[in-house]
Amino acid sequence: MQSDNLTSASERGSSGPRVRRPLPSWVSTTALLMPTYGWLTLAVFLPLLTMLVFSFMAATPMGKAPIVLTLKQYRAFIDQPYLLGIAFTSLLIGFWTTFACAVFGFLAAVALARSTFGKTREMLLILILLPFWTNGLVRIFSWTMVLRENGFLDTIFHMVLPDAGSIGFLYTRYAVVVGLVHGYLPYMILTCYIALVTIDDAIIEAAASLGARWWTILFKILVPMAAPGLISGAVLTFIPVIGSFMEPRILGGRVGVTMGTVIEDQFTQAFNWPLGASLSFTLLAVVLAIFGTFSGVLRRGTAA
C-alpha cells in the first residue's frame, strides 16, 4: 500500500505544472532593440556603406562599365587646392552658427527652465518647436524677404532713420549664419533645457544666499553642470550645419559656396558620385576628429 502511495505521488509530481525558467535579460533586450536597429541598418547604415564603396570607385558605375577601385578620390584636396578654402569656409560658418546657437540657446533654456512653469512653459516649448513645423524652403525664402535691400528689415530701419543707407545683407555669409541659426537653434535650446531642469534648485538658492551674483551662478554653476547639454547641442548643430546646402545657396548667393553645395553639385549636376562620397566622408572624419578633441577637453574642464 505504501509503495502504491509513493507511486501515485510521484506520478502527480511528474504530471504537475512545470515552472518555466525566466529568459535571460539579454534576450528581452535584444528583442526590444531589434526593430530599431533593423530599421537603422536598412535606412542608415546600408546607404552609408554603399556611399563608402562609391568613394573608392574611379567613376560612377553606369551600364556595363567595369568597376575600378582607387584612392584618387580622397586626393581631391591635394589635386584641387581650392577645396581647402571651401572647407575652411564651411567650418567657419559651422563654428559661428554653433557659437550663436550656444549663446542664445543656453540663455533661452535658462529662462525657460528657471523663470517659467506650468502652461507658460508648455506654450514657450511649442513656440520653440515651431521652426520644425514649417517647410525649410519656406523658412529660408522668408528670410530673403527680411534681409534683402528694401526688405522688411530695411523698411523698419528707414522708418527710424529715413536718410540712412541700406542695412540689407542678403547674399553674404552673415545671412547664411542667420538662416542656419534660425533652423538649428531649437536643437540647442532643447538639449540645454533637458540638462538644466535636472539641476537642483537648492544649489542655486545656496549660492544666492552666500552672496553669489547672477553672472557667478551662470558661469560657475549652470554652465559647468549643463555642459553635457551644451556638448550634445553643439554636436546636433555643427554636424548638419557644415553639410547644409539650401541656406548657403539661397541666402549666400555667390559667396555661399560651401562643402555642402559642392557635394550636392557632384551628385546632382556633375554626376560624379565617387567624388561627392569621398568629400562627404572626408568632411565627416574631420568633424569627428574635432569633436573627439574638444569633447575630451570640455569633460576634463567639467570634472575639474
**Domain with residues 79-303, CATH architecture:** Orthogonal Bundle (1.10)
pLDDT score at 6? 47
Neighbours of 77 (CB within 10 A): 15
Each domain of the chain, given as residue ranges in start order, spans 79-303
Contacts 24+ apart (CB under 8 A), 78-84: 83/259, 83/262, 83/279
Specify whether the CB–CB gap between 251 and 170 falls below 8 A.
Answer: yes
> CA 237, 241, 246, 248: dihedral to nearest 10 degrees?
130
Q: Name the burial class of residue 117, with classes exposed (0-12), middle (13-18) and buried (19+) by CB atoms within 10 angstroms of its CB.
A: exposed
DSSP characters for 159-219? Answer: HH-TTS-----TTSHHHHHHHHHHHHHHHHHHHHHHHHTTS-HHHHHHHHHTT--HHHHII
pLDDT score at 104? 94
Q: Closest Cα partner for 241 from 188, 170, 294?
A: 188
Neighbours of 72 (CB within 10 A): 14
d(CA 279, CA 259): 8
pLDDT score at 18? 63
- The string over 225-244, giving b where at least 16 C-beta atoms fall within 10 Å of a residue's C-beta and e elsewhere, is bbbbbbbbbbbbbbbbbbbb
pLDDT digit of tens for each residue in the chain (304 aa)? 545 554 555 545 555 556 667 767 777 788 888 888 888 888 888 888 989 998 998 888 776 777 888 888 899 888 888 999 999 999 999 999 999 999 999 999 998 887 767 778 888 888 888 777 778 888 899 999 999 888 888 888 888 888 888 888 899 999 999 999 999 999 999 999 999 988 888 888 888 888 888 888 888 888 888 888 898 898 889 988 988 999 999 999 888 899 999 999 999 888 889 999 999 999 888 888 877 776 665 555 455 5
pLDDT score at 255? 87
